[in-house]
Amino acid sequence: MVPTEYYIALSSIIFVIGAVGVLTRRSAIMVFLSVELMLNAANLALVAFARQWSVAGAATALNGQAAVFIILAIAAAEVAVGLGILVAIFRYRSSTDIDALSEVRL
């Protein structure tokens, strides 16, 4: 079996790729896609840890996987609302360039 650290390394790579995407892409939808990458990287780490810490008969063995399930559900909600905002913004400005959305500035 492949040891956990390899999965963690893979997870971290996917995570930073996602992060780079968030930082470098200007289209909001692309930023969204990159965020999904980051979420999934975290999920991968959780699943890997669930296997690492599994002890026979322990009730906590599946905690990692259960957490992943919850993250999935939250991700679904996030995507739904996020895309809704995206559509609203697009209507308003006919663009999804997030650099143009700098009203939060003081």
Does position 54 interact with other proteins (CB under 8 A)? The reply is yes
Count other Cβ atoms within 10 Å, centred on residue 87: 11
Site string for other proteins, 64-103 (x = CB under 8 A): -xxxxxx-xxxxxxxxxx-xxxxxx-xxxxx-xxxx-xxx
Does position 25 interact with other proteins (CB under 8 A)? The reply is yes
Q: Which residues 2-21 are close enough to bind other proteins by CB under 8 A?
A: 2-21
Count other Cβ atoms within 10 Å, centred on residue 105: 4
Does position 42 interact with other proteins (CB under 8 A)? The reply is no
Torsion of CA 78, 79, 85, 86, to 10 degrees: 150
